[in-house]
Amino acid sequence: MADHLTAALHRLPTPRCAYLYDTTALRTRTAQLRAALPANTTLLYAVKANGHPDVVHTLAQTCDGLEVASGGELALALQAGARRIAFGGPAKTDTELAAAVHAGALLNVESPHELRRLAALGLHGDICLRINRATTPLTGSHTMTGTPTPFGIDEHQLPDVLATLPTGLRVIGFHLHGVSNNLDGPAHATFLTDAITWSQQTASAHHIDLRVVNAGGGLGIDYHTDRSIDLTPLSTVTVPDGLELILEPGRYLTADAGWYAAEVLDLKTTHGRTFAVLRGGTHHFRLPAAWGYSHPFTVIPIDDWPHPYPRPEIHNTHIDAVGELCTPRDVLARGQHVTHLRAGDILLFARAGAYGWDISHHDFLRHDPPTFITL
Ligand X SMILES: *Cc1c(COP(=O)(O)O)cnc(C)c1O
Q: Which of 17, 63, 128, 326 is catalytic?
A: 326
- Contact predicate 223/351, CB 8 Å: yes
- Contact predicate 255/332, CB 8 Å: no
Q: Name the minimum Å distance from CB 274 to ligand X.
A: 34
Q: Name the minimum Å distance from CB 81 to ligand X.
A: 21
Cβ closest to ligand X, residue 133 vs residue 279: 133
Alpha carbons 317 and 266: distance in angstroms, whole number: 15
Q: Judged by CB under 6 A, which of 65, 112, 173, 216 binds ligand X?
A: 216
If one asks whether residue 228 binds ligand X (CB under 6 A), the answer comes out as no
Strand intervals (E) in the chain? 17-21, 41-46, 65-68, 85-87, 106-109, 125-132, 153-154, 169-175, 212-214, 244-247, 258-270, 273-278, 298-300, 313-322, 331-342, 346-349, 371-374
Q: Name the minimum Å distance from CB 37 to ligand X.
A: 14
Cβ closest to ligand X, residue 194 vs residue 248: 248
- Contact predicate 137/186, CB 8 Å: no
Strand intervals (E) in 176-214? 212-214
Of the ranges 200-208, 217-225, 267-275, 330-338, which one interacts with ligand X (CB under 6 A)? 217-225
Instruction: Considering only residues 81 through 140, tell me which ones interact with ligand X, judged by CB under 6 A.
Output: 88
The answer for residues whose C-beta is within 8 angstroms of residue 158's C-beta and 6 or more apart is 129, 131, 202, 206
Which DSSP category does 328 fall into? T
Q: Judged by CB under 6 A, which of 22, 67, 194, 263 binds ligand X?
A: 67
Q: Name the minimum Å distance from CB 78 to ligand X.
A: 19
Judged by CB under 6 A, the number of residues near ligand X is 17
Alpha carbons 99 and 245: distance in angstroms, whole number: 25
Cβ closest to ligand X, residue 279 vs residue 351: 351
- Contact predicate 251/56, CB 8 Å: no
Pairing label, strands 273-278, 258-270: antiparallel
Q: Judged by CB under 6 A, which of 178, 217, 296, 353 binds ligand X?
A: 217
Cβ closest to ligand X, residue 70 vs residue 282: 70
Instruction: Considering only residues 15 through 54, tell me which ones interact with ligand X, judged by CB under 6 A.
Output: 46, 48-49
Instruction: Considering only residues 252 through 271, tell me which ones interact with ligand X, judged by CB under 6 A.
Output: 252
- Contact predicate 132/146, CB 8 Å: yes
Q: Name the minimum Å distance from CB 112 to ligand X.
A: 19
Closest CA to 202 of 167, 176, 241: 176
Of the ranges 164-172, 175-183, 225-233, 336-344, which one interacts with ligand X (CB under 6 A)? 175-183
Q: Judged by CB under 6 A, which of 251, 286, 295, 351 binds ligand X?
A: 251
If one asks whether residue 218 binds ligand X (CB under 6 A), the answer comes out as yes
The question of whether 17 is a catalytic residue gets the answer no
If one asks whether residue 296 binds ligand X (CB under 6 A), the answer comes out as no
Q: Judged by CB under 6 A, which of 92, 177, 286, 351 binds ligand X?
A: 177
- Contact predicate 173/211, CB 8 Å: yes
Cβ closest to ligand X, residue 37 vs residue 276: 37
Q: Name the minimum Å distance from CB 220 to ligand X.
A: 7
Mapped to the 3 state alphabet, what secondary structure does 129-178 carry? EEEECCCCCCCCCCCCCCCCCCCCEEHHHHHHHHHCCCCCEEEEEEECCC
Catalytic residue set: 326
Residues within the interface to ligand X (CB under 6 A): 46, 48-49, 67, 88, 177, 180-181, 216-219, 248-252
